Structure 1
Amino acid sequence: MNKKQITSPQNNVIKNIKELQKKKSARKSEGLFVIEGIRGVKEIPSHVKIKYLITTSEVDEKELGAVKAEERLEVSKEIYKSISDTQSPQGAMAVAYMPTYDLVHFNIEAGHYLVLENLQDPGNLGTIIRTAHAFDFKGVFITKGSVDLYSPKVVRSTMSSLFHVPIVIEEEIDTYMDFLKQKGVTLYTTALIPGAKPIYDVTFEEKVAIIIGNEGNGVSERVKEASDHTVIIPMPGAAESLNAAIATSICMYEITRQCQKGD
């Protein structure tokens, strides 16, 4: 496909990409988001539709692999820098259509799931999704009011894992819990409350969801009441708490370890 040269920073496509980088409302209304960097673009799976592939003349497109786009655009270094969200732009980005998952069509199978309630830090969310991919979790459910899954920092932090884990967004916590319980999934949450068991003393079922709460406040009272079980991560040291991404990763590891040991 021939590349179209864009030389003006006032070009409508350039303005559109700036909006997509900065505003959740623009990403949501258009169903588009940005993936930056040579590795990020190269690792976009073939089933993901790409609207624009934008590069500078300095980029060797062989490094981008077999990625296909509806339009290929070439811009100057200056224009690329104006639309980049990174401190050290690599001269390659893609504007892709958001993967779409909803509860109506979500297939629950035996396996492990993750529910994130009101998570706010982009780095935490990206790391958690990457870890969920590594431990073969079958789906992630992110509540309304959480950090935007498709914000540039989250997308970079996932290292392309967001393309490999089914992720449902923008539903209330009650909706997710009701859906999972109807599908026979046992709900676990993490909270420092009486009766909570150390996570390594729990035997996890075939269908399990772990619910993780907000970085500062943890899970809501509603989650504590409605969950089937509550677990804690024992900490023999003096630290008061763990980072949300670290705590979630420990939970995912322990669930996976048990199941692999059982096999």
Structure 2
Amino acid sequence: MEIITSNQNSRVKIWTSLQTAKGREQSGSYLLDGWHLVQEALNQAAPIQAIIATEAQMSAHLIDVPQGVPAFQVTEEVARHIAKTNNPQGIFAQTSLPNNSFDPKYIHSGSWLLLDEIQDPGNAGTLIRTADAAGFEGVALSAGSADPFNPKVVRAMQGSQFHLKVVKDVDLAAWIDALEENDYDVFGTTLSATSVDYKTIVPEKNFALILGNEGQGMKAELQAKTTANLHINFPGKAESLNVAVAGGILMFALN
């Protein structure tokens, strides 16, 4: 096992670059930070390129790492440098990005969540985690949405990316057309005069749910293509809900 003590080590530079979209794209990988996420990746047989850990974390968890997975011990200082935080847990995994080439015309079963420019990493990760909990098949994020493998999104997903399909930079208009061609209901979410109370909807077949941007909502051209657009009635005085909260209500109600 190689022991790394310098932030200038070539491997450390690669691991640190995974904090950026460019670094992830160049390496074809992203970083898991903390034993819970690393363990989930191991449990799901995710393609792990390296385990990186401090001496204490390596002693605690190396026994759980399958033979053949490269393991690197780093100092506390190097761990902080990789994580870009002052108090990292001290164990990471570099894991391969999933194949993002996914054609919706091959989707014939299972519920899907479609995110239209959901930009806040916490919201995006929470929605993916909630879709996992609600039994969805996958989540497709439009261009302009948060990168699902951004470290903040990865923390919020809590390993759900290993349980369902996560596809990014999709053309949602094309996805709606393909899903409806496959006999899917596609529900949007708006507060327009033509939207209907979600409680009146009981999907009779496979469906997809679209959630729109935190500030602007769903694009008008997408609203025009849906089977129906839904809203949530508020008995209280709040004008709106956080998109992750609204998405949770709708996903569990519809699925």
| TM-score for the superposition, normalised by structure 1 | 0.91
Q: How does 1:173-192 map to 2 (within 5 A)?
A: 173-192=172-191
* Deviation for aligned residue 1:106: 7.2
Deviation at 1:67, TM superposition (A): 3.4
Question: Which residue in 1 is equivalent to 2:15?
Answer: 17
From the superposition, tell whether residues 109 and 64 of structure 1 become closer, same or farther in structure 2 (CA, over 3 Å).
Answer: farther
Q: Tell me the residue number matched to 2:36.
A: 39
Query: Which residue is 1:80 aligned to?
Result: 79
CA contact 1:42–1:65 (8 Å) conserved in 2: no
Structure 2 segments unaligned to the other structure (5+ residues): none
Structure 1 runs of 4+ aligned residues shifted over 6 Å read: none
Residue 251 in 1 paired to residue 255 in 2? no
Amino acid in structure 2 at the alignment position of 1:16: I
Q: Corresponding residue for 1:66?
A: 64
Could you tell me which residue of structure 2 aligns to residue 222 of structure 1?
221
TM-score, L = length of structure 2 = 0.93
Structure 1, unaligned stretches of length 5 or more? 257-263
Paired residue secondary structure (1:226): coil
- Aligned residue type for 2:37: G
Aligned residue for 1:261?
none
How many aligned residue pairs are there? 253
Deviation, 1:88, is: 2.2
CA RMSD of aligned residues (A): 1.7
Q: Distance in 2 between matches of 1:25 and 1:181?
A: 34
Residue 87 of structure 1 and its aligned partner are, at CA, apart by 4.3
Map of 1:114 onto structure 2: 113
Give a deviation string over 1:60-95, Cα, whole Å, max 9, x none: 544467334642100111111111144421110001
Output aligned runs, 1:35-184, within 5 Å: 35-44=32-41, 45-63=43-61, 66-68=64-66, 70-104=69-103, 107-184=106-183
Aligned mates of 2:60, 2:4 — CA distance in 1: 21
Give SS of 2:24's match.
helix
Asked if structure 1 preserves the Cα contact closer than 8 Å seen for 2:3 and 2:73, the reply is: yes
